[in-house]
Structure 1
Amino acid sequence: MAGLYSSEITPTERRRRLREALTGPSIARLPGAFSPLVARAIGEAGFEGVYVSGAVVAADLALPDIGLTTLTEVAARSRQIARATDLPVLVDADTGFGEPMSAARTVSELEDAGVAGCHFEDQVNPKRCGHLDGKEVVPADLMVRRLSAAVRERRDSEFVICARTDAAGVEGIDSAIERAKAYRDAGADLIFTEALHTEDEFARFREAVPDVPLLANMTEFGKTRLLPAGRLEELGYDAVIYPVTTLRIAMGQVEEALGEIAETGTQTGWLERMQHRARLYELLRYAEYNDFDQSVFTYSRENYDPDN
Structure 2
Amino acid sequence: MHDQSHSALAKRADQSVDSSPSQRLRADVCSSSKLFFLMEAHDGLSAALAERAGFKGLWASGLSIACALGYRDANEASWSQVVDAVERIVDSTQLPVLVDGDGGFGNFNNARLLARKLRQRGAAGVALEDSCFPKTNSFVDRHPLADVDEFSGRLRAVKDTVAQDFVLVARIEALIGGHGMDEAILRAHAYADAGADAILIHSRRSAADEILAFARAWQNRLPVVIIPTKYYRTPVSAYRKAHISTVIWANHAMRAAIAAMRQVYHRILTEESTSSIEPSIATLDEVFELLRYDELASAEARYLRPS
Task: Say whether the fold is shared (TM-score over 0.5).
Answer: yes
Relative to structure 1, the CA distance from residue 3 to residue 176 in structure 2 (aligned partners, 3 Å threshold; closer, same or farther) is farther
User: What is the alpha-carbon distance in structure 2 between the residues aligned to residue 84 and residue 129 of structure 1?
Assistant: 27
1:91 aligns with 2:99: yes
- Matched with 1:218 is 228
2:41 partner SS? coil
1:169 partner SS? coil
1:91 partner SS? strand
Q: Where do residues 170-189 of structure 1 align in structure 2 (5 Å cutoff)? A: 170=177, 171-189=179-197
- Residue 110 (structure 2) aligned to one of 102, 105, 125: 102
User: What is the alpha-carbon distance in structure 1 between the residues aligned to residue 17 and residue 158 of structure 2?
Assistant: 21
User: What is the alpha-carbon distance in structure 2 between the residues aligned to residue 124 and residue 70 of structure 1?
Assistant: 15
User: What is the alpha-carbon distance in structure 2 between the residues aligned to residue 295 and residue 4 of structure 1?
Assistant: 18
- Matched with 1:208 is 217
- Check the 8 A contact 2:225/2:248 in 1, yes or no: yes
Shift of 1:14: 1.2
Shift of 1:4: 12
Relative to structure 1, the CA distance from residue 127 to residue 30 in structure 2 (aligned partners, 3 Å threshold; closer, same or farther) is same
- Matched with 1:280 is 287
- Matched with 1:235 is 242
User: What is the alpha-carbon distance in structure 2 between the residues aligned to residue 119 and residue 144 of structure 1?
Assistant: 13
- Matched with 1:119 is 127
Deviations 1:206-230 (A, max 9, x none): 11222211111022xxx43443444
User: What is the alpha-carbon distance in structure 2 between the residues aligned to residue 299 and residue 2 of structure 1?
Assistant: 19
Q: Where do residues 1-308 of structure 1 align in structure 2 (5 Å cutoff)? A: 9=16, 13-22=20-29, 23-154=31-162, 156-170=163-177, 171-195=179-203, 197=205, 198-209=207-218, 210-219=220-229, 223-298=230-305
User: What is the alpha-carbon distance in structure 1 between the residues aligned to residue 146 and residue 93 of structure 2?
Assistant: 35
Relative to structure 1, the CA distance from residue 79 to residue 2 in structure 2 (aligned partners, 3 Å threshold; closer, same or farther) is farther
User: What is the alpha-carbon distance in structure 1 between the residues aligned to residue 273 and residue 74 of structure 2?
Assistant: 37
Relative to structure 1, the CA distance from residue 8 to residue 74 in structure 2 (aligned partners, 3 Å threshold; closer, same or farther) is farther
Deviations 1:129-150 (A, max 9, x none): 1122331111111111111111
Shift of 1:10: 5.7
Relative to structure 1, the CA distance from residue 143 to residue 12 in structure 2 (aligned partners, 3 Å threshold; closer, same or farther) is farther
- Check the 8 A contact 2:169/2:196 in 1, yes or no: yes
* Structure 1 vs Structure 2 CA RMSD: 2.2
Shift of 1:15: 0.9
User: What is the alpha-carbon distance in structure 2 between the residues aligned to residue 39 and residue 57 of structure 1?
Assistant: 12
- Check the 8 A contact 1:5/1:83 in 2, yes or no: no
Which residue identity does 2:56 align to in structure 1? E
User: What is the alpha-carbon distance in structure 2 between the residues aligned to residue 192 and residue 12 of structure 1?
Assistant: 24
Structure 2, unaligned stretches of length 5 or more? 1-7
- Matched with 1:304 is none
- Matched with 2:3 is none
Aligned length: 296
TM-score normalised per structure 2: 0.90
